[in-house]
A and B are shown apart, each in its own frame.
Chain A
Amino acid sequence: MTVSEVGSVMLIDDNLTDRFIHKKLLAIHEFTSEIIECESAREGLEFFKANKESKDQLPDIILLDVLMPEMNGFDFLIHLEGMEDELAKKPIIFMLSSTDDESDLRKARSVRMVNKMLRKPFSPEALISAISEL
């Protein structure tokens, strides 16, 4: 897969500054102009529930923060996995973590839907090389 094939990206992160950084960096590297911003995992799930049948609305890529209050990134994935079969389009999921905590890495590897765990600060170069491996 190449970057030009990426239609839309969903950002799920409770931290406003980090969402700002990710949005900016995606724009600078001309990823896509279609960005769906969610400030909680719950909001992301609601979006998926509302748009599960619409191929045009669903994102190609999710950048998912690991540590969030109320519902963390891993909990989000459990819910998403539950509705996976009903989705018109399966998203490619990259998790973002501020640590390279061994236990988080291991957990991410055990979740089938996760393509890769990326370390914050978000690096578009790392994302580009991860996408090209798909």
Chain B
Amino acid sequence: MTSSLNRKNIRVLYLDDEENNLRSFKAAFRRDYDVYIASTSEKAFDIVKSVKPQVIFSDQRMPVTTGVEFFNAVRQVFPDPVRILITGYTDVNDIIEAINKGHIHRYITKPWSEQEIRVAIDNAYDLFQTRKSLDSKITELEKSNYELSRFIYSASHDLRAPIASTLGLLRVAKHDVTDEAALGYFDKMEETTNTLDMFVSNIIDYYKNARLNDESEDVDFELMIEDVIESVKSYLNTNDVHIDSSINQKHSFKGDIFRIRVILSQLISNAIKFKKEDQKQARIKIEIEADLNEVNINVRDSGVGILTDHVQKVFQIFFKGSSKSAGSGIGLYIVKEALDRMGGEISVDSKPGEGTLFSIKIPNKL
């Protein structure tokens, strides 16, 4: 509640065509609040403009404009002040409509009591302050969302470009240099740089997913899978993968292309990375069934599998199955987050040494 100490900061305007009412209103409240009075809607409008009251009272029945009409006009230009109507019982229908349309906050019936008005002012002022702080929070949020987008853009270009150059230089160096020891170092450097590369990409994906905007676009799963497989292969710098995909999409599907891509990329790159050591080639089976309601996607591999104790933990941030793992511990967390944003689900079925099946379900936003 508002303390009595700062009530003098509360600017209250009262509009009424009857001078007697204005005088008694001012006399009753001027010691506690910063009170302004007006006998016509023009004068009231001027005061609203110059003084910017937080709370406005208006009589309903006046000769030229009604209180509801006045509030409706004020609202268009100055939406912030909390508007309270003072009225007799007979006008109730008009007022209910005005409240429902959001033109006025509440009404007080005549004759009012001082106590009633005080409570109304204090509550209205609290509402005003809450709205104001909410507005500034929204502005802050929009600003940080914007900054996040800029960070993502510059991180994805400026941070990744030198990594790509380093990897390119290592590729060249491995051709140019014949010294065994040097080649050994290059291999280690390449391995380390790849880990860094993956970590940076995952961080970027994480922040992209954290952005607020949700977009729904037409998804062509055939095209998307093709894209994702190609980009994952180039990313892991491997061609040694056997992917068998069956896609059944008879209807158009609307969804968040970026998030679905991230999910598929993560699952497919995991399936490639976590093949068994004696396996020459990662083998992956992808099944996609899209209908009017949802899409069901299965990504099945015959890799190392996940330990039973770990199955429930794989979606936790920074969880790693083993210290040998080249993963960042962010990948599956991002998958889960992205699915949560889209109202999707994921489940895992895995047998150590036999392979893993990830099943996801994403609603069609058609």
* Residues of A participating in the B interface, judged by any CB pair closer than 8 Å: 15, 17-18, 20-22, 24-25, 28, 67, 98-102, 105, 118-123, 125-126
B157: interface (CB < 8 Å):
yes
- Asked if B227 is at the interface of the complex by the 8 Å CB criterion, the answer is yes
Query: Which residue of the partner chain, among A17, A102, A125, contacts B261 with CB atoms under 8 Å?
Result: A102
In this assembly, does B76 line the interface, its C-beta being within 8 Å of a C-beta of chain A?
A: no
Interface of B is mostly: helix
> Do the beta carbons of B165 and A102 come within 8 Å of each other?
no
Let me know if B20 is at the binding interface, CB within 8 A. no
Q: Which of B80-88, B126-134, B230-238, B336-344 contacts A (4 or more CB under 8 A)?
A: B230-238
Residues of B within 8 A of A (CB): 156-157, 160-161, 163-165, 167-169, 171-172, 175-176, 204, 227, 231, 234-235, 237, 239, 257-258, 261
The 8 Å CB contact of A120, one of B164, B176, B204, is B164
Contacts of B160 in A (CB 8 A): 98-99
The answer to whether A98 and B175 have CB atoms under 8 Å apart is no
Q: Which residue of A has the minimal Cβ distance to B164?
A: A120
Chain B residues, CB < 8 A from A21: 165, 168-169, 171-172
Residues of the B chain whose Cβ atoms lie less than 8 Å from the Cβ of A17 = 165, 168-169
Judging by beta carbons under 8 Å apart, are A102 and B258 in contact?
Answer: yes
Bound CA–CA A74/B257 (angstroms): 22
CB distance from A12 to the nearest CB of B (A): 15
Smallest Cβ-Cβ distance to A116: which chain B residue: B230
Residue of B nearest to A118 (CB): B234
Task: Provide the residues of chain A in CB contact with B234, threshold 8 Å.
Answer: 118-119, 123, 126
The complex places the Cα of A89 from the Cα of B168 at a distance, in Å, of 30
